[in-house]
């Protein structure tokens, strides 16, 4: 069994929990294509079998979130699971809209202290929980779109955010509030899109059983946005590069039996890169 499940993860469950359930149902190695915190819900692509080899490929894909930010307060975790510390004004919708553009594009962002970022071999959340003092370096992330949807409570607003790999929505809540001269934290998060996977086609984990799992499995090649290349010369599948008249780059590779994996063309030669069948 090889391909993907597009899971609609529920709040309160870890991404690892979903992966472990699917391993037991399919008796096949599985791995998610980008974690969601337990607080968050929504699209969680899970690779099955050889599809797990595409983790790096999908990690770089754009993701879209619906998030809620609460202003006039903060928490150590930058989300609603931490102890709330009140302080700061609640901005108006007009102030929010005016400041959104400065957070679109490439921005420097410091990850949350309560995160899986490694610090000298230890996770940030472990250091934070033990009360240790440490700093995390800023890194550049890309926000493609940041849009106000509306006001949900007196101190809470909803946003749609489209961003690249490594972006922490919790950090965005903190930094955006700071730009408004106040404090803020993420009160809710739902991922609606991750690369080719969308919430419209996502299924609850509870819907998948050992008997129907194959019905929900998405073919690997259907979610890879690359041009196709068909090669019937069997030398290629034994590790021997062969001549190719296609342009340099990465391709979905098909052999006589169907989809094989990924191949790379360079300087008039093609060679296999990842076997995914």
Q: What angle do CA 274, 275, 277 make, to 5 degrees?
A: 140
DSSP-derived secondary structure letter, 79: B
DSSP-derived secondary structure letter, 234: G
Q: 258 by DSSP, 3-state: which?
A: strand
| Residues ≥6 apart with Cβ < 8 Å to 5 | 22, 30, 45, 46, 48, 203, 208, 213, 216, 217, 218
CA 227, CA 252: separation in Å to the nearest integer? 6
Residues forming beta bridges with residue 73, ordered by sequence position: 86
CA 277, CA 175: separation in Å to the nearest integer? 44
Residues forming beta bridges with residue 190, ordered by sequence position: 41, 66
Asked if 225 is an active-site residue, the reply is: no
Q: Return the sign of the alpha-carbon dihedral for residues 15, 20, 26, 29.
A: positive
Phi/psi at 229 (nearest 5 deg)?
-140, 125
Other residues' Cβ atoms within 10 Å of the Cβ of residue 138 = 12
Residues forming beta bridges with residue 63, ordered by sequence position: 163, 194
Which candidate in 37, 79, 175, 221 is catalytic? 37
CA 49, CA 31: separation in Å to the nearest integer? 9
What is the residue whose two structure tokens read 């690892």? 16
Catalytic residues: 37
């Amino acid at each position: 069994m090889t391909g993907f499940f597009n899971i609609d993860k529920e709040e309160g469950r870890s991404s690892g929990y979903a992966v472990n359930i699917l391993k037991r149902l399919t008796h096949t190695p599985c791995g998610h294509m980008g974690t969601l915190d337990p607080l968050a819900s929504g699209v969680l692509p899970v690779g099955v079998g050889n599809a797990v080899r595409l983790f790096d490929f999908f990690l770089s894909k754009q993701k879209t979130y619906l998030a809620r930010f609460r202003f006039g307060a903060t928490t150590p975790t930058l989300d609603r699971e931490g102890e709330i510390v009140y302080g700061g004004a609640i901005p108006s919708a007009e102030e929010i809209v005016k400041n959104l553009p400065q957070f679109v594009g490439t921005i420097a962002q410091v990850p949350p202290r309560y995160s899986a970022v490694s610090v000298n071999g230890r996770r940030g959340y472990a250091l934070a929980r033990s009360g240790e003092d440490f700093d995390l370096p800023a890194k550049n992330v890309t926000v493609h779109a940041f849009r106000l949807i509306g006001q949900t409570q007196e101190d809470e607003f909803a946003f749609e955010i489209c961003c690249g790999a490594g972006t922490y929505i919790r950090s965005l809540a903190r930094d955006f509030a700071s730009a408004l001269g106040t404090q803020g934290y993420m009160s809710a998060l739902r991922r609606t899109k991750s690369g080719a996977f969308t919430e419209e086609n996502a299924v609850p984990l509870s819907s998948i059983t050992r008997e129907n799992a194959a019905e929900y499995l998405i073919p690997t090649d259907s979610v890879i946005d690359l041009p196709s290349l068909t090669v019937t010369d069997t030398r290629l599948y034994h590790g021997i590069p062969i001549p190719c008249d296609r342009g340099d780059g990465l391709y979905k590779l098909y052999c006589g039996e169907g989809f094989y994996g990924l191949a790379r063309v360079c300087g008039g030669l093609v060679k296999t890169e990842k076997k995914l069948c």
